[in-house]
């Protein structure tokens, strides 16, 4: 039962507002989030409830727990997002929601809630690809950033270099063939007993460590210079930890974490610069939770300064999952006519170019 766009537009026009307020939801993994975003770039409110603590004891996200916590949190977060934005339900012009990719049960909570909210409010429903949302976090932080540009997307589930041709037109130029960089951080942290998610603690542990103390592999994918592989690095660092434990040797964990971060960064940064050379944009943005990593940020800053490329780094608060980024991307999807009917379903995986 798709809603004809004409009716949606007349509803929006009838309200006689010269700005568009989008109520947005994100629930693809272990963060439940709601936000109100005006005209794609102005965040009126952004609230997040994380179930990460509950997953920490298991060393990774337990999908059923994540879904249950989303159900518990989402309604209250929607109210809180409206309250903090100082808006009423009648001020909302559209509802945007992450519908792919992610944990299917978790996504379904957000999609179902967003559908009922859009239906109840009589406004359009806008489906948003999660990684497109991560890229859009940069629009919120950087008013001057406009496509085209190159974006390094690095999170717990994605590691890819994306050519952002315009707001809703994307091409993946290269990416990991196996593990995402964030997963590599998380698995290593789990073996070290640092909890979940492990990227932040690993980053802190790397401070002051010797990044040359351990020699970890930097993989190359034959004939695909922009592709990467992290599974060998993950195995190498975990084997190093296990071997030391079996021999009763003490490892310097600061050196280990610094050497590991250097290996991840060396796998990413030169490829980003090569992709920038190929596109000729000389405009580079970074997106996703791993964009918070201090070594990767510092290496990118140095490489971009050397190459004369402009770099946009999202503030740490916008690196992880949030709904403001979904509201931002949702605005541009709406302008491109990408609204959904009530048959909208969640998808566990979906290429960003098709989202």
Residues that bind ligand KG4 (CB under 6 A): 29, 155-157, 182, 185-186, 197-200, 203, 288-290, 292-293, 320-321
Among 249, 253, 266, 261, which residue's Cα sits nearest to residue 211? 261
Q: Closest distance between ligand KG4 and the C-beta of residue 156, in Å? A: 3
Nearest distance, CB of residue 129 and ligand KG4, angstroms:
12
Q: What are phi and psi of 95, to 5 degrees?
A: -120, 125
Sequence-distant (≥ 6) Cβ neighbours of residue 220 within 8 angstroms: none
Cβ proximity to ligand KG4: between 30 and 91 the closer is: 30
Q: Which is nearer to ligand KG4, 142 or 282 (CB)?
A: 142
Residues 315, 319, 325: CA angle, nearest 5 degrees? 100
Smallest gap from residue 211 Cβ to ligand KG4 (A): 14
Q: How far apart are CA 312 and CA 300, in angstroms?
A: 10
The distance of closest approach from Cβ of residue 189 to ligand KG4 in the complex, given in angstroms and rounded to an integer, is 7
Quote the least distance from Cβ 123 to ligand KG4, whole Å. 27
269 and 152 in contact (C-beta within 8 Å)? Answer: no
Q: Which is nearer to ligand KG4, 91 or 203 (CB)?
A: 203
Q: Nearer to ligand KG4 by C-beta: 3 or 129? A: 129
| Of 196 and 334, CB closest to ligand KG4 | 196
Dist. CA 25–CA 249, nearest whole Å: 48
Find out whether 103 and 61 touch, Cβ atoms under 8 Å. yes
Q: What angle do CA 31, 32, 33 make, to 5 degrees?
A: 110
**Closer CB to ligand KG4, residue 200 or residue 225?**
200
Nearest distance from C-beta of residue 326 to ligand KG4, angstroms = 12
Residue 308 CB partners (closer than 8 Å, separation 6+): 282
Structure tokens at 150: 């190159």
């Amino acid at each position: 039962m798709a809603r004809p766009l004409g009716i949606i537009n007349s509803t929006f026009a009838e309200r006689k507002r010269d700005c568009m307020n989008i109520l947005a939801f994100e629930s693809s993994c272990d963060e439940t989030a709601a936000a109100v975003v005006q005209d794609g770039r102005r965040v009126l409110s952004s609230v997040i409830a994380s179930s990460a603590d509950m997953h920490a004891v298991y060393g990774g996200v337990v999908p059923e727990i994540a879904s249950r916590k989303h159900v518990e949190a989402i309604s209250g977060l929607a109210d809180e997002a409206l309250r903090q934005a100082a808006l009423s339900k009648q001020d909302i012009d559209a509802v945007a929601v992450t519908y792919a990719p992610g944990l299917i049960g978790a996504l379904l909570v957000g999609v179902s809630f967003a559908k009922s909210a859009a239906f109840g409010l009589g406004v359009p429903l806008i489906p948003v690809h999660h990684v497109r949302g991560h890229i859009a976090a940069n629009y919120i932080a950087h008013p001057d950033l406009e496509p085209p540009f190159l974006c390094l997307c690095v999170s717990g589930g994605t590691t890819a270099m994306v050519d952002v041709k315009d707001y809703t037109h994307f091409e993946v130029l290269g990416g990991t063939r196996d593990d995402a960089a964030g997963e590599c951080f998380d698995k290593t942290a789990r073996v070290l007993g640092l909890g979940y998610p492990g990227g932040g603690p690993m980053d802190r542990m790397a401070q002051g460590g010797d990044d040359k103390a351990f020699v970890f592999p930097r993989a190359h994918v034959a004939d695909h210079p922009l592709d990467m592989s992290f599974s060998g690095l993950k195995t190498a660092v975990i084997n190093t930890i296990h071997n030391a434990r079996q021999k009763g040797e003490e490892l310097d964990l600061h050196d280990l974490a610094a050497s590991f971060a250097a290996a991840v960064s060396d796998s990413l940064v030169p490829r980003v610069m090569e992709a920038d050379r190929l596109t000729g944009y000389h405009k580079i943005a970074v997106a996703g939770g791993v964009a918070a990593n201090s070594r990767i940020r510092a290496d990118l800053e140095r490489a971009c300064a050397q190459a004369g490329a402009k770099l946009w780094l999202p503030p740490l608060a916008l690196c992880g999952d949030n709904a403001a980024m979904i509201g931002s991307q949702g605005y541009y999807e709406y302008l491109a006519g990408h609204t959904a009917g009530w048959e909208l379903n969640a998808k566990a995986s979906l290429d960003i170019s098709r989202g």
